[in-house]
Structure 1
Amino acid sequence: MKATLREWRAHSTLPLLEFHLLWQHVLGVSRAWLIAHDTDVLDATQCKAYEAFEARRMAGEPMAYILGQREFLGRDFKVTPAVLIPRPETELLVECGLAAVAQRQTPHVLDLGTGSGVVAISMALARPDALVQATDQSDAALSVAQMNAQALGAKLLFSLGNWYDTCLEFTPFDVIVSNPPYIQLGDAHLACGDLRFEPQVALTDGSDGLSALRIIVQGAPARLAAGGSLIVEHGFDQASAVRALFRAQGFEQVASMCDLAGIERVTGGRLPA
């Protein structure tokens, strides 16, 4: 019978960090507390709760869904299986979006396919003067995004719709940002790791990986202000194709930015002023 954290650890095959995170979630304590109290006797209810969490993790379920949250740009965001798990590379999308409106007062911002809301909410919190709108085709995703906005004190408008097919406020926009589904149908990565548990509609466009990006790029000029910017996240091997889409629609200063791994992950362009 495993009665203490030390005894649980001796029998667990989870990485130490995950082991600690799950117990922190069960007990509502810090990691330092766990280390200092690893010989305290745990009650049966706590052990049963941890056992259930560990079983889910051993089955491959992402930690973010088990814990119900994931950190993004220093803030904790609620996540559920209805939304993608926020990833560090998407922080670059936020940084580029903010840079695009750095010299604009009360900028109008649109986030297409907001999911958990991390991009739109992060931009709204960084620029309280901005008028931010976020859209998604999923009611469940918008519910998560709205909860995150309320919990973090961000002010923005959410609307239900598929890309531009919704009631858009604050037009024309100074910047449009998006992290759309860009994985090609049949890509082996969809059957690996965390992606197995994430909403497939948010991962793949069901086509060549560029169909959602085409819609977003082609529809942007009609909805951007003069000199406005479009910035999108895309796959590790799509930068050249995405730059071509931008140039075909008359965007200038088209460039791709690298993430921390040195991969061209975000592409942006600006309309003529």
Structure 2
Amino acid sequence: MTAAPRDVRQLLADAAAALPGVEGRHEAELLLLHVLGRERSWLFAHATDAVGEADAARFAGLLARRVAGEPVAYLVGSRGFWTLDLAVNAATLIPRPETELLVELALARLPLDTPLAVADLGTGSGAIALALASERPRATLIATDVSSAALSVARGNALRNDVANVSFRQGAWFEPLQGEVFDLIASNPPYIASDDPHLQQGDLRHEPPGALASGLDGLDDIRCIVAAAPGHLVAQGWLLIEHGWDQGAAIRALFEQAGFEQVHTERDLEQRERVTRGCLPGVR
């Protein structure tokens, strides 16, 4: 005898119980809505709707993969960031809410009606570049990444979000930007120590290692970026870098050694040091 189909409420309750952590219910909803092709508002009026056998089986498959540790963003193929809906996959880092602080700080240094040049180094899914470009339509954004697979995702996200004032180039950090200078450079580079045990835990296990780890102290790539940035900034141009909560002092020292002024580290909503910024001295 075929089992009677379960309704939305039953499926979500069972799934939430199977998922670890306080986000279990929310994650279950995201997976089911992805399977059903519905928006979250649909849930409130359709909790007792029966879920068909094929959809229930597909949901069960995604749930099993999530229980095994795959990130929800990879399972549903997208993640919201700023005002954007970004496609993501295993070639890209999953955009995180704390990176929106970097966007906010950059926008505060980019006048709305001024045609400025901006670079985003290590763009991944394109999150930072596309957020800035969408808010500053007169700015010209160039986003770089060493990964051709990541750049393919980023280019798709530009089309997906109808952002035209950004271009993408392949290469490590400043490699594709020889001879070019910018009013602002932003980056969320790898900053986890290569032997950090967190790399083998949670969602990080499934994200690209090259986008996460950078040497024994996590600062190898940041050292390269900070040292080279003065040669790619106009006078009074800004460098902003996202980093780990315990790296602020070390990164401020790197900025100062490179000749930056107005060096300061901003804290995120959890009051952890998150983004360091500095201004190149000189007269425009």
Distance, in Å, in 2 between the alignment partners of 1:36 and 1:96 is 40
Q: Under a length normalisation based on structure 1, what TM-score does the superposition of the two structures give? A: 0.95
Q: 2:187·2:241 contact (CA, 8 Å) conserved in 1?
A: yes
Runs of 4+ in structure 1 displaced over 3 angstroms? none
- Alignment partner of 1:29 is 2:32: no
Which residues in structure 2 correspond to 1:1-273 (within 5 Å)? 1=3, 2-12=5-15, 13=17, 14=19, 15-102=24-111, 105-155=114-164, 156-168=166-178, 171-273=180-282
Q: Deviations over 1:184-211 (max 9, x none)?
A: 1111111111111111100001332111
Q: From the superposition, tell whether residues 184 and 86 of structure 1 become closer, same or farther in structure 2 (CA, over 3 Å).
A: same
User: What's the offset of the Cα at 1:75?
Assistant: 2.0
Shift of 1:3: 2.8
Segments of 5+ residues of structure 2 without an aligned counterpart are none
CA-atom RMSD, angstroms?
A: 1.6
The more displaced of 36-45 and 82-91 is 36-45
- Compared CA separation, residues 110 and 168, structure 1 to 2 (3 A): farther
Amino acid at match of 1:8: L
Q: CA deviation at 1:37?
A: 2.4
Question: Which segment is superposed worse, 35-44 or 256-265?
Answer: 35-44
Identify which range, 224-233 or 2-11, moves more after superposition: 2-11
1:248 is displaced (CA, Å) by 0.5
Partner letter of residue 48 of structure 1? A
Question: Residues 103, 47 of structure 1: CA spacing in aligned structure 2 closer, same or farther, 3 A cutoff?
Answer: closer
2:112 and 2:136 in contact (8 A); partners too: no
| Distance in 2, Cα, partners of 1:265 & 1:167 | 26
The two structures have a TM-score, normalised by structure 2, of 0.91
Summarize deviations over 1:51-105 as a string: whole Å, max 9, x none.
1111111111111111111111132111111111111110011111122222782
Matched letter for residue 173 of structure 2? W
Distance 1:174 1:8, change over 3 A: same
Counterpart secondary structure, 2:95: coil
Cα distance, 1:38 vs structure 2? 2.9
**Take 1:27 and 1:71, find their aligned partners in 2: how far apart are those partners?**
19
Q: Which amino acid aligns with 1:162?
A: A
Give 2:138's aligned amino acid.
D
Aligned equivalents of 2:181 and 2:12: distance in 1?
Answer: 56
Alpha-carbon distance change, 244 to 36 in structure 1, aligned in 2, over 3 angstroms: same
Moved more, 109-118 or 14-23: 14-23
The SS at the match of 1:38 is: coil
Shift of 1:164: 1.1
Q: Which runs of 5+ in 1 are unaligned?
A: none
State how far apart, in whole Å, the 1-side matches of 2:10 and 2:277 are: 52
Give CA deviations for 1:232-266 in whole Å, capped at 9, x if unaligned. 00111100000000000110100000111101100
Sort the Cα spacing of 1:125 and 1:6 in 2 relative to 1 into closer, same or farther, 3 A.
closer
